[in-house]
Structure 1
């Protein structure tokens, strides 16, 4: 049996040398994020030249995101210690003329449209006037002046512009019902176009190229979401563009220059694509021939759509970035994202399915360590957060770290995970700690019955909702798990529902429908809140929490820690004052995963 190298923890979780590549609109410059004093900052390089200019110098926290506003100006997004109150700052590509644009106390900035065809302008949303709702503003990036172009009456939860940058669509919610509003011009009032229950959806993606109708994803009259065209006069579906019999379809791409649809992406066990345009298909085919057996994604292009940033990846590598000049037919490798991690030392992420106890098909992924011998394996069960998202195939540093330490890793898309249709999603409603948890437990039992997992060496680890599932697993099925790791997880459904961010308030009625109402379901909440049932926990626990977390308040972790200490259960508690919903600063990631490694080694020995 080949001896597998034990890769240092920090190799999995260190910042990449370069990432987040983007092209300037004129295609003359490449920008990217790279570390400066252990924080990811923006760098700019003229194509064909070696000189690189670092244009930002933030040292408190990584830049959260950025984009080119025009050929000279870059706009970036950051927050304060993980509070998610993002604000915009603009800076020239040479690092001069830096200007903070939207920093206000307890205010969050949303980007509605970067207005690619209007240099120096963007449309943003701010909850400055009222914490619960976002008004729409047109912001001048040079002067910092902004004008409100639509005041939110209190129920608008989203906005959409047309191809000319006019704000013409709004989505309202009373918490249960969603209404699509439309207007022909910005001078007119919004008028209702279509109202649906939140369980149904007709979500606009972008306008048709004549700015008359809307491309949208819709599950109206079907279980799986499809790509359709909605008529903006009647609200009716007038054409179905694409649907898939097994999964929802929600990604539609297009050429802004040529005004044609180019492709559709959807996820079965991995991302698949259907091309709607010969030029886009030829481009992908050419790249595939050059790059071989890796997944390929075009992540950026210039305005002329003849220069591209191409990203490769797989389940065993973070891949590389390339610069592709289509006119010159040249493909230049820019950087391998993490050359210190070798693909042949990584585990394969293989798709699996199993049946829940009430007959649902649960899809998931199983990653087995390369060096596994012939016996049953210690298992890490890793339910995803959300919960209304899904796990998908690709490189996951947590999974690879755990597999490298000799653990099998199970990720499952329990009921409620998105992408599998409306019925599968709705099956999760008011099932926190109940049938959703059964789906996780059934996955554990499946791997034990298959002879893969050692029933005495099973741990559960997850973040956010996955943290709740970790606590619920230890509380309600204590016989399954030897230990658990809870990362920014919910522990008390009553207090969780009371401490959601103010801008979630318009969706509170929907949360009641999906999670449950704390007054109407008082007994169930008491029974399914791990902090209120902590006396049932027998296994040791490691908990990690960001002090500034706006989504899962620090009190969620404080409660369960206090309850466990009172019960005499071994609990380790790691709190970081400069973090929010998850650890983003490199040194905090290092500490957390090093603690996890020691914790799992101790309790799964």
Structure 2
């Protein structure tokens, strides 16, 4: 699993967070039954999306206000994401930004006062800037520039310096700047002329960890001392063969870099690198990928998570005793986004599940007692009417076991079989995970079964599985998607003659490819900003992807030498073979999959006298962040699928 290589992201519209324990259907693809009412009311897309999204301040940021009375969070409570103050004593969030158009996300409090950092782009163009909002409401753009992309990195331990990366010097490279917290004066502390990806900054400001990509399976970590006398980056992961690495964090004293590697087996494990001696020692080993490791500000606690069969298992360890922290008063679900207060006697975190979106909790670390601060699910929706997913596996065309996440609608049976949707994630190396998705639950609530396939090439199942589709995209991975139809047809509660394919980003490509290259398999397709012309896409990647270009080309093929193959796997050039109904949804400002990709596919398929519907959002990019647009998109999915594969409630 090469963390940096997930370049073509899954659709924000239907992406699901990781949550609690899955029920494994086993290799034969059988799925355990559910206890549920035979009939449930149908909810509208608006009711599902009037559920409120909550998110914590950025990793490395300060979530608790200096006076300990509020949390800094992000929310779309008013339909567009903004930054809010959430009172720890209870009560409604108070907006501190009030954007009505551009999604705006909370980053951090200043450690010693009420100023906040936040970030926003323009209409989904991904050119984020970092802003300061002073206590009097005055806003300062710390990263001005027409084509600048910037990102907050972290604070120094003393709170006097913040670190931000920008590509203002060179659109293809991100340099690191240190800003003074009092007057925002800045200095460049690392000029990135070597094509590195920036990792963590040590809290003492001495070191920066860097990632150098070579291929999709092989990269290296470097360490550079910051400042004028820092010198050149030093390789710290010399190796032979294909080994992938990733940066987690430094220990608070800056003496140890915590990093991930698949050098010792199929999965990413956490290791510790001693900066002074160069010694490497194992830190966390598991039979799944270690998703992240994050020390608390003083290092007394360590938070880590395991990606266990598409769900997150999070542990908070008291490093003084080596024992995990036990929390009480929280519902069943998965924890995420743990943030510590300054004294490290309280934490804030989220809890979510298949049937409940992320809510924010706080807990006392002495007693372990937790308090719920938000209720994200629309009160008009009864959670008992929603559906918990199961993990279901099947043997693909060549015997490879393929996992996925299966939602069985209430009331589906052999006497009342449900139409089904094969949902393909983005990536190409993404993963469909357990967790709440308003769009998926909306479809399931209206009687559609949904199977989120993790075809070969998906992350989370070991490096061998991850690389099975390298330079075989639109072939090996697509044949898994095709094989999943037989898997679904074997279930007596699924209508075997009413199965559609759907996906966002790379999943949108797989949808269009399934319809073009296997035109009689699926009964309809929903393509959400999917690539249709790989020749164009791979020649028009954003400049700020330069550090990953070589790895991207290694997996997908270099357009200078592989253009013929790219043309052969591009649905646009084979659109005359599409004979099934198609819905295409696109953001006009998408910098990854340009609108022309969807325009041309729609025009070509309409020439086949095939039903084609096209929805364009002029104010969105690669993923839909405005509530009204998400509602419109979900309504379009439902109406299209009901028309072409039948209502799930017939």
TM-score, normalised relative to structure 2: 0.86
- Do residues 421 (structure 1) and 457 (structure 2) align? no
Helix, strand or coil: the match of 1:400?
A: helix
- Do residues 265 (structure 1) and 301 (structure 2) align? no
Please state how far the C-alpha of 1:133 moved relative to its aligned partner: 0.6
Superposition pairs of residues 5-16 of structure 1, within 5 angstroms: 5-14=41-50, 16=52
Helix, strand or coil: the match of 1:128?
A: strand
Distance in 2 between the 1:84 and 1:234 partners?
40
Listed one character per residue, the Cα deviations across residues 33-81 of structure 1 (whole Å, up to 9, x for unaligned) are 4457532322325544768643222111221342222242110000000
Distance in 2 between the 1:551 and 1:335 partners?
34
Distance in 2 between the 1:35 and 1:231 partners?
42
Please state how far the C-alpha of 1:105 moved relative to its aligned partner: 0.6
- Do residues 227 (structure 1) and 239 (structure 2) align? no
Listed one character per residue, the Cα deviations across residues 468-495 of structure 1 (whole Å, up to 9, x for unaligned) are 0110111112222111111111001101
- In structure 1, runs of 5+ residues without a counterpart are none
Q: Is the deviation greater in 559-568 or in 573-582?
A: 559-568
Instruction: Please tell me whether the aligned partners of residues 172 and 546 of structure 2 are also in contact (alpha carbons under 8 angstroms).
Output: yes
Distance in 2 between the 1:49 and 1:521 partners?
58
In the alignment, what sits opposite 1:207? Answer: 250
Instruction: Please tell me whether the aligned partners of residues 423 and 502 of structure 2 are also in contact (alpha carbons under 8 angstroms).
Output: yes
Distance in 2 between the 1:198 and 1:514 partners?
16
The total of aligned residue pairs comes to 599
- Do residues 163 (structure 1) and 199 (structure 2) align? no
Q: Is the deviation greater in 330-339 or in 588-597?
A: 330-339
Listed one character per residue, the Cα deviations across residues 267-297 of structure 1 (whole Å, up to 9, x for unaligned) are 224222456437898774232xx23433334
Q: How well do the aligned residues superpose, as a CA RMSD in angstroms? A: 2.6
- Do residues 192 (structure 1) and 235 (structure 2) align? yes
Distance in 2 between the 1:361 and 1:52 partners?
46
- Do residues 64 (structure 1) and 100 (structure 2) align? no
Listed one character per residue, the Cα deviations across residues 235-290 of structure 1 (whole Å, up to 9, x for unaligned) are 66x32223223x22232232322445454433224222456437898774232xx2
Distance in 2 between the 1:507 and 1:47 partners?
41
For residues 348 and 573 of structure 1, do their structure 2 counterparts lie closer, same or farther at Cα, with a shift above 3 Å needed?
same
- Do residues 217 (structure 1) and 260 (structure 2) align? yes
Instruction: Please tell me whether the aligned partners of residues 267 and 461 of structure 2 are also in contact (alpha carbons under 8 angstroms).
Output: yes
In the alignment, what sits opposite 1:122? Answer: 162
In the alignment, what sits opposite 1:379? Answer: 420
Distance in 1 between the 2:199 and 2:602 partners?
41
Distance in 2 between the 1:520 and 1:198 partners?
24
Distance in 2 between the 1:17 and 1:218 partners?
33
For residues 261 and 299 of structure 1, do their structure 2 counterparts lie closer, same or farther at Cα, with a shift above 3 Å needed?
closer
- Do residues 324 (structure 1) and 367 (structure 2) align? no
Instruction: Please tell me whether the aligned partners of residues 198 and 510 of structure 1 are also in contact (alpha carbons under 8 angstroms).
Output: no
Instruction: Please tell me whether the aligned partners of residues 155 and 506 of structure 1 are also in contact (alpha carbons under 8 angstroms).
Output: yes
- In structure 2, runs of 5+ residues without a counterpart are 1-36, 58-62
Instruction: Please tell me whether the aligned partners of residues 548 and 554 of structure 1 are also in contact (alpha carbons under 8 angstroms).
Output: yes
In the alignment, what sits opposite 1:361? Answer: 401
Distance in 1 between the 2:617 and 2:303 partners?
44
Please state how far the C-alpha of 1:513 moved relative to its aligned partner: 1.4
Distance in 1 between the 2:321 and 2:96 partners?
33
Instruction: Please tell me whether the aligned partners of residues 253 and 264 of structure 1 are also in contact (alpha carbons under 8 angstroms).
Output: no
Instruction: Please tell me whether the aligned partners of residues 317 and 323 of structure 2 are also in contact (alpha carbons under 8 angstroms).
Output: no
- Do residues 4 (structure 1) and 40 (structure 2) align? yes
In the alignment, what sits opposite 1:152? Answer: 192
Superposition pairs of residues 467-478 of structure 1, within 5 angstroms: 467-478=508-519
Aligned partner of 2:283 among 231, 241, 245: 241
Aligned partner of 1:307 among 327, 336, 346: 346
In the alignment, what sits opposite 1:526? Answer: 567
Instruction: Please tell me whether the aligned partners of residues 509 and 527 of structure 2 are also in contact (alpha carbons under 8 angstroms).
Output: yes
Distance in 2 between the 1:292 and 1:32 partners?
21
Q: Is the deviation greater in 574-583 or in 26-35?
A: 26-35
Instruction: Please tell me whether the aligned partners of residues 549 and 579 of structure 1 are also in contact (alpha carbons under 8 angstroms).
Output: yes
Helix, strand or coil: the match of 1:172?
A: strand
In the alignment, what sits opposite 2:123? Answer: 81
In the alignment, what sits opposite 1:32? Answer: 73
Distance in 2 between the 1:257 and 1:72 partners?
22
In the alignment, what sits opposite 2:476? Answer: 435
Distance in 2 between the 1:560 and 1:280 partners?
60
Distance in 1 between the 2:50 and 2:92 partners?
25
Distance in 2 between the 1:602 and 1:425 partners?
36
Aligned partner of 2:389 among 342, 345, 349: 349
Greater relative CO (CA pairs within 8 A, separation 6+): 2
Q: Is the deviation greater in 103-112 or in 446-455?
A: 446-455
Distance in 1 between the 2:625 and 2:182 partners?
30
Listed one character per residue, the Cα deviations across residues 450-469 of structure 1 (whole Å, up to 9, x for unaligned) are 33432321111110001001
- Do residues 554 (structure 1) and 590 (structure 2) align? no
Distance in 1 between the 2:303 and 2:72 partners?
25
Distance in 2 between the 1:426 and 1:170 partners?
23
Distance in 1 between the 2:322 and 2:48 partners?
34
